[in-house]
Amino acid sequence: MTVLQILKAEIKSQKKWKSPLFLLLFILPIFYTFLFGFTYYKNVVNHIPTVIFDEDNSYISRQIITAYDDSDRFEILFHAQSFEELQNIMGKGDAYIGIYIPPQFSRDIKRGIPTTVGMMINSTNMVFGNSAITASQEINMSAIIKGGQKLTEAAGQPTAEALSTAYPIQVKIRILNNPTNNYTNFLLLGLIANGMQIGILLFAPSMLCAEYKRIKFWSHTRTFNIVLGKFLACWLPATISICLCETFAHFIFDVPLRAPIWQIIILSSAFIFIFTSLCLVFSATFTNPVNVAQLPLGYIMPGLLYSGLTWPLGWVDSVPAFLGKLMPLYYFAIPLRALSLQGFSPDYFVCLRKMLGVGTVLLIVAGFIFHYKRNSYICEQ
Amino acid sequence: MHCYGIQRYLQIMKREFLFLFKFDIRRIVVLFCAASAYLILFSLLYQQGTVEKIPALVLDQNNSALSREFVQYIEDNEKFHVIAEPINLETFQNKISRDRELVGFIIPPDFNMEAESGRSAKVLMVMEGSNLIITSTSAIAGLEMIRGFSNEKGVKLLEKNVSLSALQAAQKIRPVDFNYRIIGNKNLNYMYFLALGLSLAAFQQGIFIAIAAAFLYKPQGIMNNEIKLNWLARYAAKILPYFFISLVAYATNLFVAKYVFAYPIKKDILLDLFAIGAAFAFIIANIGGIVANLVHSELTFTRISLAYVVPAFILSGYTWPLEGMIKPIYWLAQLSPLTYLANTFREIILLGYSINSFHNSLILLIAGIIAFFLAAHLYDLRVKSFARSNACN
C-alpha cells in the first residue's frame, strides 16, 4: 500500500461520529476550548466579598469605605459590629477581605497622631489575594495622598503645592499587551494546546502497537509507508482541529491573534508534528495499548505546568528548568501566547526549528523501532 | 438473599491484593506513588515560592543625585534586581517589548527638578503583560516601593518648606497607615497555593486507574466462586483493598508534604484531613467502579479518566475561584468530587480549619454511598451476565 492509500484507509475507518479520531482529536479539544473559555469568561476577579468594621463612623472613615464600595474589585457585603464579628465572617469564608477602621480614626488624623487601618486578606486562594492586594494598594494610596494633601495644606503649604509635597514622586504603571490582566488571554491558548496534547496522547499511542497483531495484512507494505501513513492520519486532523480551536478562542472568547495567521498555523502544525511523532515512538515501543494510554498520567499535568505557561521558568531551580525544556509545550505555548498578545515572538524560529528537528528525529526513531519489532514478529511467525 | 461464609469474601480480597502486589504491579505503583510523585514534582517546580529579583531595566534620563538614589532604592527592593547596562529610549522599548520577564522604569529628564520644586515627578513603570505572575508581583512591589520613596521625599520637602520636624512632617505626609494582615498564605507562596492540589488530582487518577484494572484487566476476569455471593459484600470485598491502600497513599502524601517540603500540617488538623480524604477516596473508588462496569475495555476507561483530569482540576476552584465562574460552569464544577476536596484541603492546611470541612466530607460520603450501591449493582449485572455465558458454554 502507498502512503496515500494508508492515509485514506485510516480516515475511512474513522469516519463514524463516535470513532476515536473524531472524539479524541476533534470533540475533546473543542470541548476543552469551550469549557475553559467559559470558566475564565469573567476574565478578572471582581466583587470580592468584603466585610467592614468601622469603629469611627466619621466622614473620613466613610470616604474610605465609599472608595472600596465604588471599586469594581470589592463588594462590601457585611458591616460588622465588632472585631470578633469581622473575624467570624472572615473565618466562615463569607468574606475574603476585612477592613478595620479604629475608633477616633479621623480625630487622630486631624491631630497628626499616627493611626492605622487594618486590612485582613484571606489569601488561601492567591487569585483573590493578589487581586485584592493590588486593588487595595491603589485605593489606600489615593486615601493617603488625599489626607496628606489636606494636612500639608493646613500646615502652611500653598494649595497648589500641597499635592506634590504630599506625593512628590508619582508612578504610572503601563502593562503592555494584556493591560487588564485578562486570564483568558493569559491561559486559554495554552490550555487548548494542552487539550490537543491530551487528545493526541489518547489517540496516537494505539496506532502502531495495534498493527503488530496484523503482520500478515501489512506483509506487502514498507515500514516507511505504514509509519508515515499513520502519522499523517493523526497529524492532519489534529492540525485542523487545533486551528479550529484557536479560531473559536479568537472569535468567541476574544483572545487576540495579533501575529500573521500563517505564523500561528505553522507553529501549531509543528507542535502537532513533534507531539504525534513522540506518541508514535511510544506506540511502536509498547505492544499493549492500555499501557501506552496510561503513560500520559505522568505527563498531562507536568507537561502543562512545567512548560512555563503559568510559573515562569526563570524562577525555578536547574532541575525543574531542565525538565521544563523537555516538554514539547514549552516550545509552543509560550511563543503562541507571544504571537497572540505581542504580535511576534522573539523565539519563534528557534522553537519552530527545534520542534521540526526533534519531531523528525522522533519519527525516524518510531520507524526504526516499528521496523525492528515488526521483523521480530515476522520471524516468530 | 444468599449469605456465605466470610472466607469467600476474604478470598476475593486476597485475590485483589495478589493482583495489586504481584500479578499487576502497575496498580500499586499508580495507586501508591501517583500523588506523592506529583507532590514532589510540583513542589520542586514551585520551590522558590515567590517571584523575587525580577530583572529591572532603568532608563535614567535625569542622572541626578535623586534619580541615582531612586535607582538604588529599586536595587534595595528584594523583588527587583537592576540590570546595569547603558541604554537609550529605543533599546529600552525594544528590550521591554521583547523580554517577557523584565520590568522597566523610565525616570524623566526633569525628575529632580520636578520633585524638589513642588511639582510632582512622574516615574513610568512598564512591563510586558503576558505572564500574570510577573505582572502582579511587579505591580504590587512597584507601587509599594515608589510609595515608600515618595513618602521619604515628601517628608523632606515638608521639613524644608514649612519648617516642621521630621516626625511631624512624616505624620502629615502619611497621616494613615494601612496594615496588611495576610491570612492563609502569608508569603503568597505558590508552592503552598498549587502543589498539594495537583497531588490530589494525581491521587484521584491513581485510584481510577487501579480500580479500572480491578474490573477490566483481562487476565484477572471474574471467578466462578463470585457468582453466588451477596452482591453488596462481593463488590465491597473487591473494592476495599484499593480503598485501604489509597488511604495509606494519602497518609504518605501528607507525610512527604510535612517532612520533605515543610507544609504546615499540624497534628490537630489530621482528623479533618483524614475525614475528607477518606470520603474522597471512597467516592472516587466507587465512581471508578461505576464507569468500569459501564465501559467495555480498560483502554476506554483510561481514556475517559485521563480526559477528565485537567477539567476536574481547573473546575475545582483550586486556581480560578468558583465565585469567578459563570453559573453553568459553577454548577458543572459542583458535579466533580475534586471540587469538594481541593479548596477545603488547602484551607485546612493553610488556615488550620475549614468551615466547609464537615459539610463537604458529608456530601462526598453520601454521594459515595449512593455510588457504592450503583457500582455494586452494575457489577452484579456483569457477574450475572458472566454466569449466563458460562452456563451457555
CA distance linking residue A150 with residue A314, whole number of Å: 45
Residue A131, in any domain of the structure: yes
SS3 of A30-55: the string is HHHHHHHHHHCCCCCCCCEEEEEEEC
Question: Same structural domain for residues B113 and B164?
Answer: yes
B363 within domain boundaries: yes
From A6-10, B16-20, B238-242, the region with the lowest mean pLDDT:
A6-10
Q: From B121, B149, B173, give the residue that closes a domain.
A: B173
Complex-level ipTM: 0.86
B278 is written with which cell numbers?
477518606
* Calpha distance A282→A229 (Å, rounded): 17
Q: Where do the H-state alpha helices sit in A167-307?
A: 183-203, 205-209, 223-251, 261-285, 289-294, 300-305
A102 to chain B, any CB pair closer than 8 A? The answer is: no
Given CA atoms A133, A137, A143, A147 in this order, what sign does their dihedral have?
Answer: positive
Give the Cβ contact number of residue A58 at 10 Å.
18
State which residues form the domain around A54.
Answer: 48-166
A222 and A145 inside one domain: no
Question: Same domain for A357 and A215?
Answer: yes
Neighbours of B362 (CB within 10 A): 14
Q: Which residues of A touch B74 (CB under 8 A)?
A: none
- pLDDT grade for B1, boundaries at 50, 70 and 90: very low
Exposed/middle/buried for residue B90 (C-beta within 10 Å: 0-12, 13-18, 19+): exposed
Question: Does position A294 have pLDDT exceeding 90, yes or no?
Answer: no
Same domain? B36 vs B85: no
CB distance B168–A124 less than 8 Å? no
Cβ distance A171 to B143 less than 8 Å, yes or no, reads yes
B178 part of a folded domain: no
Asked if residue A246 and residue A361 are part of one domain, the reply reads yes
Residue-range definition of the domain harbouring residue B272: 6-46+189-392
**Cα dihedral A66/A67/A69/A72 (nearest 10):** 160
Same domain, A135 and A229: no
> Are B350 and B388 in the same domain?
yes
Residue B254 binned pLDDT confidence (cut-offs 50, 70, 90): very high
Q: Taking CB atoms and an 8 Å limit, are A202 and B306 in contact across chains?
A: yes
CA distance A336 to chain B (A): 11
**Selected residue of B138, B149, B176, B295 to mutate for chain A interface (largest A Cβ count, 10 A):** B176
For residue A237, tell me if it sits in a domain. yes
Shared domain for A98 and A125, answered yes or no, is: yes
Same domain, B110 and B159: yes
Residue A195 touches chain B, beta carbons under 8 Å: yes
Same domain, B154 and B250: no
Q: Do A293 and A324 sit in the same domain of this protein?
A: yes
What's the number of domains chain A is made of? 2
- Residue B370: how many CB atoms within 10 A of its CB? 12
The CA angle A135-A136-A138, to the nearest 5 degrees, is: 70
- Per the listing, cell 519531531 goes with A359
A27 pLDDT more than 70 = yes
Tell whether A59 and A119 lie within a shared domain.
Answer: yes
Same structural domain, A130 and A261: no
Q: Are residues B219 and B102 in the same domain?
A: no
CATH code at position B168: 3.40.1710.10
Kindly state whether residues B232 and B346 are assigned to the same domain: yes
Note whether A209 and A120 are same-domain residues: no
CATH number of the domain where residue A104 is located: 3.40.1710.10
Query: Do residue B293 and residue B220 come from a single domain?
Result: yes
Is B313's pLDDT higher than 90? yes
- The residue behind cell 466562615 is A92
For the segment B344-373, what is each residue's pLDDT rounded down to a tens digit? 999 999 989 898 999 999 999 999 999 999
Which amino acid, one-letter code, is at A349? F
Length of chain B: 393
The three grid cell numbers given for residue B157, joined into one nine-digit string: 520637602
Residues B268 and B286 in one domain: yes
Residues B243 and B215 in one domain: yes
Closest CA to B231 of B371, B391, B369, B373: B373
Say if residue B339 is in the same domain as residue B370: yes
Which residue reads 496498580 in cell numbers? B27
Domain boundary among B173, B204, B219: B173
The answer to whether A194 and A299 have CB atoms below 8 angstroms apart is no
Mean pLDDT of A328-348: 92
CB contact under 8 A, B355 and A191: no
Whether residues A159 and A74 share a domain: the answer is yes
| Residue B253 lies inside a defined structural domain of this protein | yes
How far CA A108 is from CA of A117, A148, A162, B174, in Å, comes to 12, 13, 20, 12
Does some domain include residue A332?
yes
Range ranked top by mean pLDDT from A133-147, A299-313, B113-127, B195-209: B195-209
Per the document, the length of chain A is 381
Using CA atoms, how far residue B369 sits from B57, B285, B287, in Å, is 59, 11, 10
Reported as a single tens digit per residue, the pLDDT across A113-141 is 878 899 999 888 888 888 888 888 888 88
A300 within some domain: yes
User: What band does A160 get if pLDDT is binned at 50, 70 and 90?
Assistant: low
Burial (CB count <10 Å: 0-12, 13-18, 19+), residue B118: middle
Is beta strand A74-79 parallel, antiparallel or unpaired with respect to B176-183? unpaired
Last residue of a domain, one of A166, A195, A219: A166
Of the candidates B120, B177, B306, the beta carbon closest to that of A163 is on: B120
Query: What radius of gyration, in Å, describes the C-alpha atoms of chain B?
Result: 30
Do A78 and A13 lie in one domain? The reply is no
**Is position B206 within any domain?**
yes
Instruction: Please give the grid coordinates belonging to residue B196.
Output: 498539594
Domain-located, residue A272: yes
Sign, Cα dihedral of A153, A156, A162, A165 = negative
Residue carrying the nine cell digits 498531562:
A300
Contact A290 B303 (CB under 8 A): no
pLDDT range class, residue A158, cuts 50, 70, 90 = confident
Closest residue to A40, CB basis, from B47, B144, B320 = B320
CA distance B188 to B185: 5
Of the residues A137, A166, A195, the one at which a domain ends? A166
Query: What residue type is assigned to position B182 of the chain?
Result: I
Highest mean pLDDT among A59-73, A234-248, B58-72, B186-200: A234-248
Report the alpha-carbon distance of residue A72 to residue A44 in Å, rounded: 10
Q: How far apart (Å, rounded) are the C-alpha atoms in residues A33 and B319?
A: 18
Domains contained in chain B, number: 2
Residue B168 has pLDDT above 50, yes or no: yes
Q: Which of A160, A142, A156 is nearest to B117 (CA)?
A: A160
A344 in any annotated domain: yes
Name the domain boundary from A101, A135, A166. A166
Instruction: Give the whole-number percent of chain A exceeding pLDDT 70.
Output: 99
In this structure, is residue B180 part of a structural domain?
no
pLDDT for A218 equals 77
Q: Where are the beta strands (DSSP E) in A63-168?
A: 74-79, 97-101, 115-122
End-to-end CA distance of chain B: 26
Q: How far apart are CA A132 and CA B253, in angstroms?
A: 32
B179: closest chain A residue by CA: A118
In a mutational test of the A interface, the residue from B217, B303, B309 whose CB has the highest number of chain A CBs within 10 Å is: B303
Tell me the percentage of chain B whose pLDDT exceeds 90: 51
Q: What is the pLDDT of residue A123?
A: 85
What distances in angstroms separate CA B122 from CA A199, B64, B114, B150, B392, one per listed residue? 51, 15, 9, 11, 89
Q: Is residue A174 part of a domain?
A: no
Q: Is residue B181 part of a domain?
A: no
Q: SS3 of B223, please?
A: coil
Give percent of chain B with pLDDT exceeding 70: 98
Note whether A156 and A193 are same-domain residues: no
Is residue B214 located within the same domain as residue B70? no
Q: How many helices (H) and strands (E) does chain A have?
A: 17, 5
* Residue A173 covered by a domain: no
